Amino acid sequence: MSSETAQELMKNRFRGYMPVVIDVETAGFNSKTDALLEIAAVTLRFNEDGDLVPNETLHYHIEPFEGANIEQAAIDFNGIDPHSPLRGAIDEGAALKEMFKPIRKAQKDAGCQRCILVGHNATFDHGFVMAAAERANLKRNPFHPFVTFDTAALAAVFLGQTVLIKACQAAGIEFDNNQAHSAIYDTERTAELFCYMVNRYKTLGGWPLNNE
């Protein structure tokens, strides 16, 4: 690793923010009215070579909140039966509270002041996380209230692709389309893609900045 510690690398690379990759599966497109059904998060770290790599994966199946709308087309698409007891689903507030604890610890360990949600079409995932946290009245939400890092936009610049599977293929990341639209699978592939782009930019000489 360079003279910077892993903590310093994270803090300096993203201006005091710690990226956390999130993917959600839902029962529609409206975060205020439609049920959140599944959420996964991947924290990131810098390794001894100074490369950004996936660290810890967190995953929860979520019970639809009381009065939630469930669009048939949405569950036909993602294949989730919201009311199946086999899912082992838990209340969205409990899931987020449990998920936020290790994320806040990782943020603190990295010396960062806030977390940034990384997602493929990130505003969608961000909207559902924020709406669920608001419904549960969670005060210690580690995520920035409106800033995100969108891998769809980044992949358009880096790889000329915006669809997750095509961006992963262009980056040489294995992608099984049969496992797509599972929150945990999509989150882990998105994390790999984000790390690839950050590390590739460094390899090409784009980081650290040369201000001479």
Return the beta strands (E) in the chain as ranges.
Answer: 17-26, 36-46, 52-61, 114-119, 143-150
Of 58, 62, 59, 60, nearest in space to 82 by CA: 62
Tally the C-alpha atoms within 13 A of residue 77's C-alpha that lie toward its C-beta. Answer: 12
CA dist list (Å): 55 to 20, 74, 96, 102, 118: 10, 30, 19, 11, 14
Tokens 């838990």 found at: 90
Annotation says 181 is catalytic: yes
| Alpha-carbon span 62 to 35, nearest angstrom | 9
| Alpha-carbon span 204 to 157, nearest angstrom | 14
Q: Which of 59, 61, 126, 181 is catalytic?
A: 181
| Alpha-carbon span 43 to 107, nearest angstrom | 9
In contact, 100 and 140? CB cutoff 8 Å: yes
Tokens 């999130």 found at: 22
**Which of the residues are catalytic?**
181
